[in-house]
C-alpha cells in the first residue's frame, strides 16, 4: 500500500481547565470515553477511504482531486491511499478495506463481471455510483515516424502485454481493429504498463503505444522525442463496430486542435472510455447519499477544481453498460 493523503484532518485538542493540577481518575475516564465516542463516530459515519493509482499517474490525480472536491462539499473526511493500480485497489473495495474509488470502465467492468485480470472472480460487492467523464486515449507515435494512420501500423512495433493493466489489452486490439488490423498484422513488444510503453517509445524500441491524451507523461515524451502525434480513428460505422467488437466500453470522441492537447494539430476523432465512480456495498447509505448529492448539486464546480476531472456531464452520470447496475440511491438522485 502506498502513502495516505488526508484531505481533511480533525484536530481534537484536549484542554485541561485545571492546568497544573492532576486529572482525577473520574475525569480521565470521562475524557477517554468521549474520545472513543468521537473516534467511533468519525470512523463509521464521516470517514471514507479512497483508492488511487501510483502518485504521479492520471488515476492518482483523478482520485486525489475528486477526494478534495467531495471533502470540501460534504461532511466526509476522505483519505486517499495510493496503490499500483485498479487491479490492486478494487479488490480492497470488494473486501471492505477501502470505500470508494474512481477507475476507468475497462477495469471496473472487468472487475464486476469477473473478466480479464479478474477472470473467474467477479466482484459482486462493487457498486457503480456514477459515470464521471470520458477519458480520451489513443495510439501515440513520434512526430517524425512517418506513421499517419492506424492502418500505417501494419508491420510496426506496438506496445503489448501490460500485466499491470491487463484490462487495457482489448483497447489496444480495438484500436488496431478500427484501422482494419489484427494483432497478427503488427509486431507485439511486451511492456509492463502503458506508461512503460511510453518509455519504450522514447527509447525507440516501439513505434506506437496506447496512452491517455491528457496524462502528464505526454509532456515528457513530447520533449524527449522532439514531438509526438496521436493517430486519428476512423469514425465510420463499420470501423467503430469493429473496435467495439473487441473493446465493448470504447467509443469515439472528437478532439479539437484548440483543446490544448499535446500532439493534436488538427481536429480528429479518438478513442475514449469512461471514468466511473464505484463504492463497496458495505458503505453506509448516508455516505453514498452525500457523495451523489455533491455530484448532482455542483458538477461544474467539481469539474473546475482540477483539469484532470474533465467535464462532468449530469446527462451522462447514469450511462448504460451491459450487465451493470447502479446503486439505487445514485440512480434515484442522478437520473433526475
For residue range 212-233, list pLDDT tens digits in order: 998 889 999 999 999 999 999 9
Of 149, 112, 114, 155, the C-alpha closest to 276 is 112
Q: How confident is the model at residue 85 (pLDDT cuts 50, 70, 90)?
A: confident
User: Which pTM was predicted?
Assistant: 0.77
Q: How confident is the model at residue 311 (pLDDT cuts 50, 70, 90)?
A: confident
- Give the mean model confidence (pLDDT) for residues 230-247: 97
Asked if residue 103 and residue 79 are part of one domain, the reply reads: yes
Q: How confident is the model at residue 46 (pLDDT cuts 50, 70, 90)?
A: confident
Of 36, 43, 11, the C-alpha closest to 28 is 36
Q: How many CB atoms lie within 10 A of CB 139?
A: 27
Check: CB of residue 320 under 8 Å from CB of residue 109: no
**Residues 233, 267: Cα–Cα separation, whole Å:** 11
- Give the mean model confidence (pLDDT) for residues 47-60: 89
Asked if residue 263 and residue 147 are part of one domain, the reply reads: yes
More confident residue, 210 or 306: 210
Check: CB of residue 59 under 8 Å from CB of residue 212: no
Check: CB of residue 282 under 8 Å from CB of residue 125: yes
Check: CB of residue 156 under 8 Å from CB of residue 186: yes
More confident residue, 44 or 67: 67
Using DSSP's 3-state secondary structure scheme, residue 298 falls into: coil
> How many structural domains compose the chain?
2
**Residues 243, 251: Cα–Cα separation, whole Å:** 8
Asked if residue 252 and residue 151 are part of one domain, the reply reads: yes
pLDDT for 184 beyond 60: yes
Using DSSP's 3-state secondary structure scheme, residue 329 falls into: helix
Q: How many CB atoms lie within 10 A of CB 53?
A: 28
Of 132, 118, 96, 112, the C-alpha closest to 280 is 96
Which structural domain, as residue segments, surrounds residue 284?
Answer: 42-134+275-334
Asked if residue 108 and residue 150 are part of one domain, the reply reads: no
- b/e map 195-217, b = 16+ CB within 10 Å: bbbbbbbbeeebbbbbbbbbbeb
Q: Which three cell numbers stand for residue 64?
A: 486525489
pLDDT for 255 beyond 90: yes
Q: Could you report the per-residue pLDDT of 123-166, keeping only the tens digit for each?
A: 999 999 999 999 999 999 999 999 999 999 999 999 999 988 88
Q: What is the pLDDT of residue 26?
A: 41
- Among the listed ranges 11-20, 109-118, 199-208, 245-254, which one has the minimum average pLDDT value? 11-20
Using DSSP's 3-state secondary structure scheme, residue 236 falls into: coil
Asked if residue 235 and residue 194 are part of one domain, the reply reads: yes
pLDDT for 40 beyond 60: no
**Residues 110, 312: Cα–Cα separation, whole Å:** 23
Residue 3 lies in a domain: no
Asked if residue 257 and residue 159 are part of one domain, the reply reads: yes
Task: Annotate 16-78 with DSSP letters as a single string.
Answer: -SSTTSPPPHHHHHHHHHHHHHHHHHIIIIIEEEEEE-STTSHHHHHHHHHHHHHHHHSS-EE
Asked if residue 171 and residue 56 are part of one domain, the reply reads: no
Asked if residue 237 and residue 143 are part of one domain, the reply reads: yes
Asked if residue 263 and residue 145 are part of one domain, the reply reads: yes
Q: Which residues pair with 102 in a beta bridge?
A: 277
Using DSSP's 3-state secondary structure scheme, residue 306 falls into: coil
**Residues 310, 180: Cα–Cα separation, whole Å:** 30
Residue 283 lies in a domain: yes
Q: Could you tell me the CATH number of the domain that includes residue 222? A: 3.40.190.10
Amino acid at each position: 500500500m502506498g502513502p495516505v493523503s488526508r484531505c481533511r484532518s480533525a484536530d481534537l485538542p484536549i484542554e485541561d481547565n485545571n492546568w497544573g493540577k492532576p486529572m482525577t481518575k473520574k475525569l480521565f475516564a470521562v475524557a477517554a470515553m468521549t474520545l472513543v465516542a468521537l473516534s467511533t463516530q468519525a470512523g463509521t459515519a464521516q470517514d471514507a477511504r479512497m483508492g488511487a493509482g501510483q502518485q504521479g499517474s492520471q488515476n492518482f490525480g483523478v482520485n486525489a482531486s475528486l477526494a478534495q472536491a467531495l471533502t470540501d462539499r460534504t461532511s466526509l473526511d476522505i483519505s486517499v491511499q495510493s496503490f499500483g493500480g485498479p487491479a490492486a485497489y478494487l479488490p480492497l473495495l470488494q473486501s471492505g478495506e477501502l470505500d470508494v474509488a474512481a477507475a476507468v470502465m475497462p477495469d471496473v467492468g472487468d472487475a464486476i463481471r469477473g473478466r480479464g485480470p479478474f477472470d473467474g472472480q467477479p466482484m459482486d460487492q462493487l457498486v457503480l455510483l456514477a459515470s464521471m467523464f470520458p477519458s480520451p486515449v489513443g495510439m501515440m507515435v513520434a512526430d517524425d515516424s512517418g506513421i499517419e494512420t492506424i492502418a500505417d501500423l501494419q508491420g510496426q512495433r506496438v506496445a503489448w502485454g501490460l500485466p499491470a493493466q491487463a484490462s487495457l489489452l482489448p483497447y489496444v486490439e480495438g484500436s488496431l481493429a478500427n484501422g482494419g488490423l489484427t494483432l497478427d498484422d503488427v509486431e507485439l513488444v511486451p511492456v509492463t504498463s502503458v506508461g512503460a510503453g511510453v518509455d519504450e517509445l522514447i527509447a525507440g524500441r516501439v513505434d506506437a503505444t496506447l496512452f491517455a491524451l491528457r496524462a502528464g507523461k505526454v509532456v515528457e515524451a513530447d520533449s524527449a522525442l522532439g514531438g509526438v502525434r496521436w493517430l486519428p480513428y476512423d469514425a465510420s460505422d463499420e470501423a467503430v463496430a469493429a473496435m467495439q467488437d473487441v473493446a465493448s466500453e470504447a467509443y469515439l470522441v472528437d478532439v479539437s486542435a484548440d483543446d490544448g492537447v499535446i500532439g493534436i494539430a488538427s481536429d480528429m476523432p479518438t478513442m475514449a472510455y469512461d471514468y466511473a465512480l464505484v463504492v463497496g456495498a458495505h458503505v453506509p447509505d448516508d455516505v453514498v447519499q452525500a457523495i451523489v448529492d455533491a455530484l448532482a448539486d455542483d458538477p461544474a464546480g467539481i469539474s473546475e477544481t482540477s483539469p484532470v476531472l474533465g467535464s462532468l456531464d449530469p446527462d451522462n452520470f447514469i450511462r448504460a453498460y451491459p450487465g451493470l447496475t447502479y446503486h439505487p440511491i445514485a440512480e434515484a438522485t442522478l437520473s433526475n
